[in-house]
């Protein structure tokens, strides 16, 4: 063990430092009452059942005429895009002159267990698109889909191409069965009918458990051993706690929509073969001729790049661009790269196609 350069004095120092920081961490934790997230001011302009459509207020007039509608995933909450003022993709996009709207899918309860993809895409999403067009006085929207919301946006753009001007997909899976897709690998043998019969709606904490189980040590003990450093001061602690709050804030999934999505996408990869059916209409991605900006994270373990990049060959778009961000799944929106790379690229790209 020639590289082993640990001596007793070093270990004593390290243990002392670690535990001193641990004690300070307690002081920090005890001094924090409220963990505020999603602080950018917004107006509720439309509500359909539990789905809410928000319009963000901006201190400056939008320089891009076509409004941007953000379609987030059903899993987790969309405030990750506005986690805190210093790490807010929303604020950055507003500052860059975009007129922003966001869909908040809400928290499905037992009354929503039969909601299916037709309800979400042809119902709620279409209703939000229409309301944004009306509110902004625009015939079309720029659709910005995130993760599963990106897959929804692709389906929607294929079904209602005339209502969409440009399409931006962030960390969006389209090929669900690539060799390195560990989440898909885990989903293959799960009996979905049994899952819906058992749970009705799929509990959010079960999904969270599945995500954590993909990297149990790094997201478990390693993260907790780094906490004393994160809690060294109040601001860093708040950043950490906001992220933790978001991770744990995982809505249950409407049973039928979950079954259709996991079965159609993860287990049968139907989107790749243009065989996905939403309501009574087949989703043919070749109907997407819109300008398309596809953004993905190089180190994304939930939606690996190989799951996103096949989009290049699936649509009929002649204006397709990719942006590979050196970040993981969440880092694409919240890291410094998001501020300096992702938001400016989205804004420039949309302005050029306005």
Partner 1 sequence: MSDDLQKQMQAWLEQQQAYWSRLAEGASAGEEPPSWDRLLQAYRQSALKELPEQQARLASLLGSNATLFNRFGAEVLQALTDADSERALEQAVEQLGRHMQQHACAALLAQWQLPQPLGSLFGSEMAGALSGLFGPATPFDPARAQRPDTQQGFRLLLEFQEAMQHFVNLHQSIGQQAARDLHQRLLDGAEVESLADLHALWVDCYESRHADTGLSADYQSAHGRLSNASMQLQKFCQDWRDRHYDSLGLAGRPQLDGLAERQHRLRKQLRSLAREVADLRTQLLDRVPASEVAALRTELAQLRQRLDRLEGDRGDAGT
- Residues near partner 1 (CB under 8 A): 1-12, 14-16, 18-20, 22-23, 25-27, 29-33, 35, 110-111, 113-115, 118-119, 123, 179-180, 182, 185-186, 188-191, 194-195, 197-200, 209, 213-218, 220-222, 224-225, 227-228, 241, 244-245, 248
d(CA 12, CA 7): 9
Nearer to partner 1, 167 or 254 (CB): 254
State the nearest-atom distance from the C-beta of 337 to partner 1, in Å: 23
d(CA 177, CA 306): 9
Phi, psi (5° rounding) for residue 255? -55, -50
- The answer to whether 128 is a known catalytic residue is no
State the nearest-atom distance from the C-beta of 256 to partner 1, in Å: 8
d(CA 161, CA 143): 11
d(CA 104, CA 109): 15
Nearer to partner 1, 99 or 175 (CB): 175
Looking at residue 339, the DSSP 8-state letter turns out to be I
State the nearest-atom distance from the C-beta of 266 to partner 1, in Å: 12
Q: What is the 3-state secondary structure (H, E, C) of 193-243?
A: HHHHHHHCCECHHHHHHHHHHCCCCCCCHHHHHHHHHHCCCHHHHHHHHHH
Nearer to partner 1, 267 or 274 (CB): 267
Phi, psi (5° rounding) for residue 100? -110, 135
Nearer to partner 1, 157 or 192 (CB): 192
Closest to 307 measured CA to CA, from 298, 316, 315, 317: 298
State the nearest-atom distance from the C-beta of 258 to partner 1, in Å: 13
Nearer to partner 1, 58 or 306 (CB): 306
Residue of 128, 147, 155, 265 marked catalytic: 147
State the nearest-atom distance from the C-beta of 14 to partner 1, in Å: 5
State the nearest-atom distance from the C-beta of 292 to partner 1, in Å: 28
The answer to whether the beta carbons of residues 80 and 155 sit under 8 Å apart is no
How far from each other are the two terminal CA atoms of the chain, in whole angstroms? 61
Query: CA-based diameter of the chain, in Å?
Result: 71
**Residue 33: CB atoms within 10 Å:** 5
Nearer to partner 1, 10 or 41 (CB): 10
**Residue 180: CB atoms within 10 Å:** 11
Catalytic residue annotation:
147
């Amino acid at each position: 063990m020639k590289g082993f350069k640990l001596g007793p004095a070093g270990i004593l120092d390290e243990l002392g430092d670690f535990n001193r920081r641990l004690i300070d961490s307690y002081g920090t934790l005890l001094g924090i009452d409220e963990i505020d997230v999603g602080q950018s001011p917004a107006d509720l302009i439309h509500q359909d059942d539990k789905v809410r459509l928000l319009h963000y207020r901006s201190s400056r007039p939008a320089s891009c005429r076509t409004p941007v509608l953000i379609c987030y995933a059903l899993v987790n909450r969309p405030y990750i895009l506005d986690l805190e003022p210093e790490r807010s993709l929303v604020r950055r996009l507003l500052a860059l002159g975009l007129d922003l709207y966001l869909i908040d899918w809400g928290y499905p309860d037992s009354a929503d267990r039969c909601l299916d993809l037709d309800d979400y895409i042809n119902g709620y999403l279409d209703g939000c698109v229409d309301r944004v067009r009306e509110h902004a006085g625009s015939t079309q929207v720029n659709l910005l889909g995130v993760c599963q919301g990106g897959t929804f946006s692709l389906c929607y753009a294929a079904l209602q191409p005339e209502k969409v001007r440009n399409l931006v997909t962030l960390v969006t899976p389209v090929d669900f069965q690539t060799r390195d897709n560990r989440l898909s690998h885990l989903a293959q043998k799960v009996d979905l009918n049994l899952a819906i019969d058992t749970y009705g709606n799929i509990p959010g904490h079960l999904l969270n458990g599945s995500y954590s189980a993909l990297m149990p040590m790094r997201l478990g003990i390693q993260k907790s051993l780094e906490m004393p450093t994160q809690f060294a001061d109040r601001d860093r602690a708040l950043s950490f706690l906001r992220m933790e709050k978001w991770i744990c804030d995982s809505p249950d999934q409407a049973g039928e929509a979950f079954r259709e999505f996991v079965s159609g996408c993860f287990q049968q990869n139907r989107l790749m073969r243009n065989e996905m059916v939403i309501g009574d209409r087949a989703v043919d991605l070749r109907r997407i001729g819109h300008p398309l900006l596809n953004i993905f994270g190089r180190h994304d373990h939930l939606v690996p790049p190989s799951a996103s990049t096949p989009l290049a060959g699936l649509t009929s778009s002649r204006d397709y661009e990719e942006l590979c961000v050196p970040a993981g799944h969440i880092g694409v929106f919240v890291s410094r790269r998001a501020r300096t790379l992702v938001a400016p690229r989205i804004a420039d790209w949309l302005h050029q196609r306005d």
